[in-house]
Amino acid sequence: MPTITNRNLIPSGQVPGRVSNDMTENSGNLLPIYMVADESASMTNYIGDLNHGLTQLHNALLGEPMAAAKVRFTILGFSDDVQLRLAMADLRHENELPQLTARSNTAYGKVFEDLRARIPTDVASLKGQGYTVHRPAVFFLSDGQPNDGDGWRTTRNQLVDQSVTKAAPNIIACGIGAVKPETMLEVATKPEYAFVSTGSDLGAEIAKFCAALTKSIVKSGNTIGSAQPQLVVERPQNFKMAIDVV
């Protein structure tokens, strides 16, 4: 399965090649990861598959304690609004993950508004605890086109603009169902971070997404704190890069 690496995963707020003066007092190195899941009504028949996939992810991370220790995991569900399901968790210390619930519409704008407020606060909190924080990663999953107008693009652009949001995240966008490839390209921060499913069985596609997310977390976590920290993005099995879909 193709793997994409980003070797420019520098600590958020630091300059490449410059070592912070307080590194000797560092509590450790962390990578914040946000899993953003579509909870619109169209996900009703598949939300169980997504919850099962997240349970499998949790179980896998419990078996990879070294990687899990380097990650703080947040789960956000979005529909007409954004619901925080899990906040900055060390998955080694979680008994089980919360359940996602299918609800109403597909408002992309709410997601990016939430992340613009949430990520800087989370990064500041971790830094306040003495951690070196690497640039956050957002794994975005949707089965439908946004139905809240075009304003989401402006908010998304502000989120990923490092002159506006210092801890601007990398965004990996995965579309299933009715999502258009060009929409995932607009969400993702790089063309190689935008994927769309090729299968019609959405439950199976969600399972593949969760398996790839698990591998991405484990491989990325294992690099954090090393001489070459990097975000490793696994393409879900049988998904295509959105830029290659015509």
For residue 204, give every residue at least 6 positions away whose Cβ sits within 8 Å of its Cβ, in sequence order, or none.
none
DSSP 223: H
**Contact assessment for residue 41 and residue 103, using Cβ atoms and an 8 Å cutoff:** yes
Q: What is the mean pLDDT of the chain?
A: 91
Provide the token pair at 71.
């990650």
Tens of pLDDT, residue by residue over 6-65, are 655 545 444 333 333 343 356 899 999 999 999 999 999 999 999 999 999 999 999 999
Closest by alpha carbon to 67, among 232, 183, 210, 236? 232
Task: Compute, in degrees rounded to 10, the torsion defined by CA atoms 238, 99, 78, 43.
Answer: 50
Q: Is the pLDDT of residue 198 over 90?
A: no
pTM to 2 decimal places: 0.91
What percent of the chain is predicted at pLDDT more than 90? 85
Provide the token pair at 96.
């089980």
Provide the token pair at 164.
């506006």
Annotation: CATH topology of 39-244: Rossmann fold (3.40.50)
For residue 118, give every residue at least 6 positions away whose Cβ sits within 8 Å of its Cβ, in sequence order, or none.
34, 74
**Contact assessment for residue 203 and residue 46, using Cβ atoms and an 8 Å cutoff:** yes
Tokens 């063309």, located at residue? 191
Tens of pLDDT, residue by residue over 75-97, are 999 999 999 999 999 999 999 99
